A = this chain, B = another copy of it.
């Protein structure tokens, strides 16, 4: 598929199609003002000769780039620091490669760069986009919607605007959180704290809702807001120990924060799970297996979420092609979670 043979010319296409050079040019440039029958004839000649004035013009004809953008709405430093993203990308990469689509990861330094990302998406370089880790006030979803590229979101988007045909893949965050807190209550714990994720993300808000479903009259001091990072988990655990020294259990909204909480508990001389039981969320390996003690956590299949996002998107781009496990019309999917018991609770 690289440029080894001499390229067929515009003239050759015109001759083959029996139309003028200008007509070919017009069709290749989008086809406006050209009769359908001529458009068809030109496209046929283009196909037969393998005419490629350049890839940009070619994709105007085929309307396909065989490329899918992935946008993680976090600075690139976090994309590489948090194994969650690597896992989700692994699933996406496997699925796209299996369908010979190029994974185009658009990295940014931060939210200021999202307008540029939307410009790239609107620019006709990809057939669709997979977008994850959205925050509530991020302009990206609206920019993407305006860009008009088919999009599947990782995690339920939380913005309040127009939600026409929003397709997403998510885990049952609220149900998983309920399972975790019920398990802690079942161990006889009564002072159960929650370390939240970034509450401008629906995953964090849903897990907090799940905690509240069980802890209906929870002491508000038992809820410590954090940000899904290990350092945030450490800070939150220190705050919790200070304001509620009688805390006997912690449900952290992800494993990285739980690992930070475990470090702080150890430093403060508390035994886990003896004094304080700890549960995370994700079942991120090796993190969850290598903490001391190994982490009891709520498992979500992150790689499978990525795979499913890619599958749904490809289905939306090319509705003719059947995809395993995906219905005819893409619609959102919420995957179940499971509690995985290790040493910490």
Q: Which residues of A contact B (CB under 8 A)?
A: 1-4, 10, 21-22, 25-26, 28-30, 32-33, 53-60, 65-67, 76-77, 80-81, 83, 86, 89-90, 93-94, 97, 100, 102-109, 113, 115-120, 122-125, 143, 146-148
Number of copies: 2
- Taking a contact as CB atoms closer than 8 A, the residue among B29, B53, B120 that contacts A102 in the complex is B120
Q: A22: which B residues are within 8 A, CB to CB?
A: 22, 25-26
A238 to chain B, nearest CB (A): 22
Q: B33 and A21: CB pair below 8 A? A: yes
Q: Contact between A4 and B146 (Cβ–Cβ < 8 Å)?
A: yes
Shortest CB-to-CB span from A148 to chain B, Å, is 8
From A21, which residue of chain B is reached at the shortest CB distance? B33
Contact B105 A93 (CB under 8 A): no
Whether B76 and A80, one on each chain, are in contact in the complex, defined by CB atoms closer than 8 angstroms, is no
- Chain B residue numbers with a CB within 8 Å of A146 are 2-4
Q: In the complex, are the beta carbons of A86 and B94 less than 8 A apart?
A: no
Query: B90–A76 contact, CB under 8 A?
Result: yes
| Chain B: CB-nearest residue to A89 | B76
Q: Is the CB of B97 within 8 A of A109?
A: yes
- How far is it, in angstroms, between the C-alpha of A139 and the C-alpha of B57 when the chains are bound? 26
Residue of A4, A56, A76, A117 with most chain B CB atoms under a 10 A cut-off:
A56
Q: Flag if B2 contacts A123 (CB, 8 Å).
A: no
Give chain B nearest CB distance to A236 CB in angstroms.
23
A66 proximity list for chain B (CB < 8 A): 116, 119
A56 nearest CB neighbor, chain B only: B56
Given the interface pairs A1-B115, A22-B22, A59-B56, the reply to whether A107 lies near B122 with Cβ below 8 Å is no
Interface contact B97-A2, CB-CB below 8 Å: no
Q: How far is the CA of A21 from the CA of B22 in the complex (A)?
A: 10
CB proximity of A89 to chain B, nearest CB, Å: 6
Chain B, Cβ-Cβ closest to A65: B123
In angstroms, Cα B136 to Cα A1, docked, is 22
How many angstroms from the CA of A22 to the CA of B30 in the assembled complex?
12
When distances are taken between beta carbons in the complex, the residues of chain B under 8 Å from A76 are 89-90, 93, 103
Question: Chain B residues near A10 (CB, 8 Å)?
Answer: 32
If the complex has contacts A1-B115, A33-B21, A116-B100, are A122 and B55 also in contact, measured as CB distance less than 8 A?
Answer: yes
Whether B28 contacts A125 by the Cβ 8 Å rule is no
- What are 23 A-B interface contacts by the 8 Å CB criterion? A2-B122, A2-B147, A10-B32, A21-B33, A25-B25, A25-B29, A28-B29, A29-B57, A30-B54, A54-B123, A54-B124, A58-B123, A59-B123, A66-B119, A76-B103, A77-B90, A80-B86, A93-B107, A93-B108, A97-B113, A102-B120, A104-B104, A105-B106
Instruction: Report the minimum CB–CB distance from A344 to chain B (whole Å).
Output: 23
Q: Which residues of B contact A4 (CB under 8 A)?
A: 146
Please name all residues of chain B whose beta carbon is closer than 8 Å to the beta carbon of A120 when the two chains form the complex. 65, 67, 102, 104
Bound: A57/B57 CA distance, A: 7
**Residue from the set A55, A83, A125 with the largest chain B CB neighbour count within 10 Å:** A125
Q: Are B104 and A105 in contact (CB under 8 A)?
A: yes
A91→B107 CA distance, assembly (Å): 12
CA distance A33 to B108 in the complex (A): 40
A30–B51 Cα distance when bound, in Å, is 14
State A124–B67 Cα separation when bound (angstroms): 13
Return A252 CB to nearest CB of chain B, in Å.
Answer: 23
